[in-house]
A and B are shown apart, each in its own frame.
Chain A
Amino acid sequence: MSKPVRAVGIEIAGVNLSYGTTHVLKNVDLSVRPGELFAFLGPSGCGKTTLLRLIAGFAQAETGRVLLDGRDVAPLPPWKRDVGMVFQSYALWPHMTVAKNVAFGLEERRLPRAEIDRRVAEALDLVGLSDYAGRRPAQLSGGQQQRVAVARTIAIEPKVLLLDEPLSNLDAKMRVSVRRELRALQQRLGLTTIFVTHDQEEANTICDRIAVMDAGTVRQVGTPMELYENPANLFVASFLGSANILGDGDGIPVPAGKRLVFRPQHATLSSIDGVPLRGPVTHREFLGATVRYNVQVGGSEILVETPFQSGGELRTVGDMVGVALPPERMLYLPA
């Protein structure tokens, strides 16, 4: 298991899924490349867990296919899929020790005892919990529980690894270190991994590519930088980082059905002469490296972030200012 496994791709094509009358997944198409750390990113309730459960075999699609390594997995029940899933609640069994939890999947595969013991030790070593083999899950911290859940799953050497909001039960400090550990582990194993999160920072910092989801649809797929620089629509633009969104009539003409979008740090404050976007400063915040201004432009309030220079002159609330914007930073996006 410490040696890289043969990585496997995941193909999701034309998937629709409903629970009763709620249409939860709508025409989902995705392709996860072998060995990559891929994120499902979207607000709570958008269908990330459902998509993960579909891959693991706990939900059935009405239309469409899920291919693992090129093979349709529809006929396989969850216990034959070799898809390792780490549940959001971790789902560690409280009546078993840590070692027993990790050994479970291997025992179900009827491996010889010696091999089970070896692989349990290896998996626990990999997540740095060798000293905790005899403990019960309830005796571990949240971060340790999460690592047991990961160890339990990778011990069976699954074809792919699915992580459902693995950091959501940890405190803010832990999240940063644990996400790095997860990334390092994934790299070492070379395991195709899907990482579900509603936190764009988590997705941006450790994932190779991200699928941004909204209300059961995939809105855009790309690397974190692609998504940030070239969002395909307003949802992606505003979900990843902050974005100013202006309609027609706010000073710059906008094509029908689209909006003008730009990042706060790409704009600068200028004099009002000859600048189409202008208005009064309504609020100012000092953030350390930058200063953030709110400017009322037409019917919209926009944000402008300028680098802070000591001794530099600051605008005050009530000043009339112009908002200057390089043309290459102006994006015209559909909803």
Chain B
Amino acid sequence: MALAGTRSAGQATLALAIALFLGVFLVVPVATVVYVAFTEKGGGGLTLVNFLDFARTDLFVRSFWNSVYVSAMTVVWASALALPLAYLTTRFEFRGAMLVQTLGFLPLVMPPFVGAVAMQLLFGRNGSVNLLLDEWLGIKIGFMEGLNGVIFLQAIHYFPFILVNLSAALRNIDRAMEEAAQNLGSHGLRLFRRIALPLALPGFIAGASLVFVKVFDDVATPLLLNVKEMLAPQAYLRITSIGIDDPMGYVISVVLIGVAVATMWASALVLKGKDYATTQRGGGGLARRKLKPRESALAYAVVILILTLVLAPHVGLLLLSFATVWSYSPLPDGYTLAHYARVLGDSSGYIKNTLLYSSLAAGIDVVIGGAIAYLVLRTKLPGRQWLDWAASTALAVPGVVLGIGYLRAFYGVKMPDGTPLAALWIVIVLAIAIRRLPYALRAAYAALQQISVSLEEAAENLGATKARTVRRIVIPLMTGGLLAGFVTSFATAAVELSAVLILVQSNSDAPLAYGLYVLMQTPAGRGAGAALGVIAVVLVAICMGLAQLAADRSQRARGLDI
């Protein structure tokens, strides 16, 4: 019993340390934001006055509805792109399917803000496409005008979230569901609409709500497209231009959190009782139909069109990074390596900072994520579920809100030399780590769930203590999964911007994403900004490849070991 006592004491210490970390770096900042939003300026009592001000300010109300409109329209357009692809790849024998599946990774490789300026140059009023359209047909299309630009850019970036979820759901439908419909006289699109689509609704909603929230919370993309009248950008502008004492930034933050929570709640409500789980009872999926030659041509046309759109920001970014001058012409006037020389030379600090911050943040995530997963899955510690719950709430906290919370909560905390805690670069790392923690946590769960408990019991049975078992059995077996989690966290941390935007105090502490954002603001900096963007994309793509490799490797190792 003494042994059991020390064992659970060790676990309790670990749990408390994690709880403390989450408390200080997640709960306190968010609670501060909420508290400030509900108190009178200058520290009075609780009040709703700030929210009344918000509702009475035309700019904010307009921004709110703009954000709702942009997010909703992004979901609509993203669905319009995702639906035909999901239908094609899950219900037909289609060689382009692999191509479509790889699309799923693109939004992870490059967040929308990176390609914003390049898209302006390709699709803007005087961009390549409109110049050509004007020359050939005498028309111009306002792809990028005002809110349209944000919708366009976000939709082509985020539709894979809907595509991946919807396709998975469509593949999981028991084939008898659709065969029964065919047997009763239904086929083709009508069958898809009446049977397959409703059954895949949970997958669709999961993807759509994710897209809605991501677009609603995005700060940098609208700002780079010069759209200021949206809610998340307003929060940022308010705090950076008026200061951290102005309550409006906090009110907007609370609204952002509210919208994120409401969206998740609404999607849960819609899905209630709809988790049909009609997965296969043996036997392969629905027999896929072969496309007739004409249908096949049409399918390829659709896929190529969508692929062109998806790759446009990447291509534009690449062109821009090599361009001497590029304006009022379909293609750049000339090409140069000067931008790369510049960013690898005097701007190389951005890249160094990114590598440092991302590895630290990913390291923190893997350690904490792994520890929480272990406590939840392998111990009976009371309250362990709370850790999981707390870490997961980070999903509902927009980056800009977390940034504002850190600024407010830690600005008053002074280091011995008098600099405020909030101004230290380590705070940027912590913010990024908290933002990525939910993903690392899922990876850790997955890794731990694949390890049979009996292996650990065998070790204990042979006399190993709990701590030694963890060190010698659990951690080595989890390595592949944790490594994959680390690399994924690292990659996505490298392009995290919204929290960073608020927290960066000096250029020398700024990571790559911030540098890109700043450089892209001026025509003179664009080339260098694009070069940074290309470097970021390559960095992230390499990491994603490594993560895949690590995951595969650990899969194989387990296959041999167990």
Contacts and interface: CB of A to CB of B under 8 A. Distances in A.
Contacts of B198: 93, 95
Contacts, number: 71
Interface stretch (B84-92, B139-147, B274-282, B423-431): B274-282
A211 B179 CA distance: 25
Nearest to B274: A95
Nearest to B181: A104
A152 B176 CA distance: 14
B186 to A, nearest CB: 5
Contacts of B201: 95
A160 to B, nearest CB: 12
Contacts of A105: 184-186
Contact of A91 (B179, B185, B194): B179
B190 A91 contact: no
Greatest chain A CB density within 10 A among B179, B180, B190, B274 is at B180
Interface string A145-161: 00000001100100000
A94 B278 contact: yes
A229 to B, nearest CB: 37
Instruction: Indicate the size class of the contact surface on chain A.
Output: 20 to 34
Given A87-B176, A108-B190, A93 B199 contact: yes
Given A79-B186, A79-B187, A108-B190, A87 B180 contact: yes
B13 interface: no
A156 B176 contact: no
Greatest chain A CB density within 10 A among B184, B190, B278 is at B184
A77 B180 contact: no
Given A89-B281, A94-B278, A95-B274, A79 B185 contact: yes
A95 B184 contact: no
B179 A58 contact: yes
B184 A152 contact: yes
A93 B184 contact: no
Contacts of A87: 176, 179-180
B280 to A, nearest CB: 10
A166 interface: no
B182 A78 contact: yes
Interface string B167-186: 00000001011011111111
Nearest to A95: B198
A142 to B, nearest CB: 14
Given A94-B278, A95-B274, A89 B176 contact: yes
Interface residues of B, number: 23
B13 to A, nearest CB: 46
A124 interface: no
Given A58-B287, A94-B276, A108 B180 contact: no
B283 to A, nearest CB: 9
B185 A95 contact: no
A84 interface: yes
Given A93-B199, A94-B276, A95-B276, A108 B186 contact: yes
A57 B182 CA distance: 10
B166 to A, nearest CB: 16
Contacts of B199: 93-95
A329 B185 CA distance: 51
Given A58-B287, A94-B278, A108-B190, A79 B174 contact: no
A188 B507 CA distance: 86
B562 to A, nearest CB: 30
A56 interface: yes
Nearest to B283: A49
B276 to A, nearest CB: 4
B195 interface: yes
Nearest to B198: A95
A85 B183 contact: yes
Contacts of A156: 184-185
List 7 A-B pairs, minimum CB-CB distance, nearest first: A105-B184, A91-B176, A91-B180, A108-B185, A78-B182, A79-B187, A94-B276
17 contacts: A57-B182, A58-B179, A58-B182, A58-B287, A77-B182, A78-B183, A78-B187, A79-B182, A79-B186, A79-B187, A80-B185, A84-B184, A93-B181, A94-B276, A95-B199, A108-B181, A108-B184
Interface of B: 174, 176-177, 179-187, 190, 194-195, 198-199, 201, 274, 276, 278, 281, 287
Given A57-B182, A108-B181, 5 more contacts: A79-B184, A94-B276, A95-B198, A156-B184, A156-B185
